């Protein structure tokens, strides 16, 4: 094999090119965060339409339990609140957002299950919720009600409505919308009979001032939902750091404060903080 001689000018060009590439690499920190702290910004996936959990307020700020958890975790990873960029991550796009590197991690009522673990890794769990139904205050739907033929709403990408069909009402009519706010509007108008998802999410909606007295929880515990923090598949380093942050959040009282601040107004009876890695089936 013949080797070509490298002239001094060519060598200098190579050095300059490498130097420019190294300098330009700093811009990568603006994408999803390095996960080791010290980056310019970290992008975190949350929901924008879940009161009490992940909500974008009219003034552009964010509130909710997931937001508080994400902010605490980001702090432990080395990021200040003004270095956090919250990115709306809908249920149907969570795995893709992590695979594409759109966000560093996701805290968005993201239940840990075997199917999802094939595509992403999880830290946590950090909250144990249960699937329930939200119905109108004067509805006769309650525990033991025959839901066959009833119109049940949930969001695209969620397993909640399908779980109702698989377990108690195979002839229920499923309506899947893009967001929970659309389901709530359908429930309010009578287009659907019930909105089904986790009790924590439903409690957040029912507690809003504008819906005071209009809705109630049916009181069904149809499943155990172990909320985890999703990270890109194979990113064990970030998952381990997040687990350490979650443990600290529980031990220093910040976890319970976040529960009280976000779910207290709805009289939501939460489960105790789960142990890291302990999945309740």
Q: Are residues 63 and 190 in the same domain?
A: no
Q: Are residues 230 and 113 in the same domain?
A: yes
Q: Which residues neighbour 79 within 8 Å (Cβ) at sequence distance 6 or greater?
A: 33, 37, 39, 41, 42
Let me know if residue 149 belongs to a domain: yes
Let me know if residue 156 belongs to a domain: yes
Distances (CA, A) of 131 to 120, 211, 263: 22, 21, 16
Q: What is the CATH number of the domain that holds 105?
A: 3.40.190.10
Closest CA to 111 of 93, 132, 127: 127
Task: Give the pLDDT score at 28.
Answer: 42
Query: What domain range includes position 190?
Result: 130-217
Distance CA 222, CA 215 (A): 19
Residues paired with 136 in a beta bridge: 215
Let me know if residue 91 belongs to a domain: yes
Q: Are residues 197 and 114 in the same domain?
A: no
Let me know if residue 110 belongs to a domain: yes
Percentage of the chain beyond pLDDT 90 is: 61
Q: Are residues 84 and 146 in the same domain?
A: no
Number of domains in the chain: 2
79 falls in which pLDDT band (50, 70, 90)?
very high
Task: Give the pLDDT score at 5.
Answer: 40
pLDDT at 218 over 70: yes
Do residues 53 and 69 lie in contact, with contact meaning Cβ atoms separated by under 8 Å? no
Percentage of the chain beyond pLDDT 70 is: 85
pLDDT at 2 over 80: no
Let me know if residue 8 belongs to a domain: no
């Amino acid at each position: 094999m013949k080797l070509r001689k490298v002239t001094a000018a060519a060598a200098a060009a190579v050095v300059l090119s490498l130097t420019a590439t190294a300098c330009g690499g700093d811009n990568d920190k603006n994408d999803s965060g390095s996960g080791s702290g010290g980056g310019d910004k970290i992008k975190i996936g949350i929901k924008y339409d879940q009161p009490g959990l992940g909500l974008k307020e009219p003034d552009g700020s964010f509130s909710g339990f997931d937001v508080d958890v994400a902010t605490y975790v980001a702090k432990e990873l080395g990021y200040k609140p003004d270095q956090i960029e919250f990115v709306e991550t809908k249920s149907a796009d969570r795995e893709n957002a992590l695979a594409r590197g759109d966000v560093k991690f996701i805290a968005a009522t993201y239940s840990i299950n075997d199917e999802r673990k094939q595509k992403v890794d999880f830290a946590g769990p950090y909250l144990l919720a249960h699937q329930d139904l939200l119905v109108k205050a004067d509805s006769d739907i309650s525990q033991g009600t025959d839901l066959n033929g009833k119109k049940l709403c949930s969001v695209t990408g969620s397993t909640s409505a399908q779980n109702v069909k698989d377990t108690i009402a195979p002839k229920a009519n499923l309506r899947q919308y893009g967001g929970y706010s659309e389901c709530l509007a359908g429930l309010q108008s009578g287009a659907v009979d019930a909105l089904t998802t986790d009790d924590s999410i439903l409690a957040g909606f029912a507690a809003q001032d504008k819906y005071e007295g209009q809705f109630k929880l049916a009181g069904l515990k149809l499943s155990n939902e172990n909320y985890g923090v999703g990270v890109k598949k194979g990113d064990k380093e970030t998952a381990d750091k997040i687990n350490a942050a979650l443990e600290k959040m529980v031990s220093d009282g910040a976890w319970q404060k976040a529960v009280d601040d976000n779910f207290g107004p709805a009289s939501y009876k939460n489960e105790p903080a789960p142990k890291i890695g302990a999945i309740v089936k």
